[in-house]
Amino acid sequence: MHFLRPAISSLLLVLFLSVSAQAQSAFTVGTATAAPGQKSTGYLEVPAGIDPASSIPVVVINGARPGKTLALVSGAHGTEYTSIIAIEKLIAAIDPAQLTGIVILVPLVNIQSFELKVPHVNPVDNKSMNRFYPGKADGTQTERASFLITKQIIDRCDYLIDYHGGDLDESLRPYAYWGPTGREEQDRLSKQMVLAFGLDHIIIWRERPTDPAATRYLDNTASVRGKASIVVEAGHAGIVDSDDLALLVNGSLSTMRAMKMLPGDPHPIENPVWIEKLEDVLSEGPGIWYPLVKRGTYVSAGMKLGTITDYFGKTIAEPRAPVTGIILHINAVPSLKKGDNIADIGVPAVHAP
Ligand SMILES: [Zn+2]
């Protein structure tokens, strides 16, 4: 029987080698494959269906040491430029030699929106690219792209950050969303992420779809699948401002430090303004918008937010704040059509969560 022992130990050696090879193996997303210590670029190839194919750029940064996988996704709205440029900066800034774990970066989901300068939707199918998750393999381009992102990125990450900002027609002050799920450990992690990111206004987003087949939003799709995730927003109205950009870049690196993916200490926000309710102010008809308040203004319930005139200059509406709170975003351009979002007002929470 003694000759069985070498056989067992060589079997154990093979097992050991395959486990350590697994921990140190290459990681592939779409056509991007990165070995440990490497950075690789490629595309998520969305196949043609009832409308054209699309190639979504993706970067895999595989750390020198094995660890968790973080996904950073931007540009679902292709004219929210600051969030897109922030990911471009992070592609250059994250050094795989310093990294523990894997970072998947998607700088621009909605390429057609970016190239054609069309806000809010994918001009190919006129759908928002942050409303159709988890997507459909046989749907329109937005749904096929969402399906691929769910399978290739969300299902394979541990943490996710979705980046947005004020679109071409939105004057927005920076803020984050935190969506608690009731699962204690996941909520603790996502709260740690949102605090480490450092944005000073955080919306508590409680009422969200829980059906995994109809999760709607990117971060919610990750969240429902058990991955700690947050949304961050900075930038406004087509302007890439260096302060807004710094908030997103430094916030991302700070979150990665909090998750022990990068060396160094995070710089968490200590006492953010927690927002417990969001009130939309919608336009009742088409017209020309003349705002009276700016993003970040604290308004009282009943305060006039601006004036809407018809095309002859006659005042047709004077929208007022439905609640007391902070103008998180306000329409940045004169154009208004019926149903457009004129402003979002955040109501501060009485108690921090
Ligand atoms: Zn957006």
- Over residues 309-337, the mean pLDDT reads 97
Percent of the chain scoring above 90 in pLDDT: 92
- Over residues 91-107, the mean pLDDT reads 98
DSSP 34-61: E-TTEEEEEEEEE--SSS--EEEEEEEE
Residue 15: what pLDDT? 46
Question: How far away, in angstroms, is 232 Cα from ligand 1 center?
Answer: 10
Reference 103, options 310, 253, 270; nearest CA is 253
Using an 8 Å Cβ cutoff, are 179 and 223 in contact? yes
CA–CA separation, 85 and 32 (whole Å): 20
Question: How far away, in angstroms, is 76 Cα from ligand 1 center?
Answer: 6
Question: How far away, in angstroms, is 3 Cα from ligand 1 center?
Answer: 65
- Over residues 160-177, the mean pLDDT reads 97
CA–CA separation, 239 and 106 (whole Å): 21
Burial of 7 (0-12, 13-18, 19+ CB in 10 A): exposed
pLDDT one-digit tens code per residue, 55-84: 999 999 999 999 999 999 999 999 999 999
Percent of the chain scoring above 70 in pLDDT: 93
Look up residue 73 and give its two tokens: 């996704």
pLDDT one-digit tens code per residue, 238-251: 999 999 999 999 99
Q: Mean pLDDT score of the chain, rounded to an integer?
A: 93
Residue 202: what pLDDT? 98
Residue 316: what pLDDT? 95
Question: Residue 13 pLDDT > 80, yes or no?
Answer: no
**Strand pairing partners for 55?**
45
pLDDT one-digit tens code per residue, 173-194: 999 999 999 999 999 999 999 9
Q: Are strands 100-106 and 65-74 parallel, antiparallel or unpaired?
A: parallel
Look up residue 137 and give its two tokens: 């393999």
Question: How far away, in angstroms, is 9 Cα from ligand 1 center?
Answer: 55
Q: How confident is the model at residue 8 (pLDDT cuts 50, 70, 90)?
A: very low
Residue 114: what pLDDT? 98
Question: How far away, in angstroms, is 281 Cα from ligand 1 center?
Answer: 18
Reference 234, options 124, 346, 80; nearest CA is 80
Question: How far away, in angstroms, is 334 Cα from ligand 1 center?
Answer: 20
What DSSP state is assigned to residue 120?
S
Residue 189: what pLDDT? 98
Phi then psi for 141, rounded to 5 degrees? -55, -45
CA–CA separation, 73 and 343 (whole Å): 25
Question: How far away, in angstroms, is 37 Cα from ligand 1 center?
Answer: 32
Using an 8 Å Cβ cutoff, are 82 and 240 in contact? yes
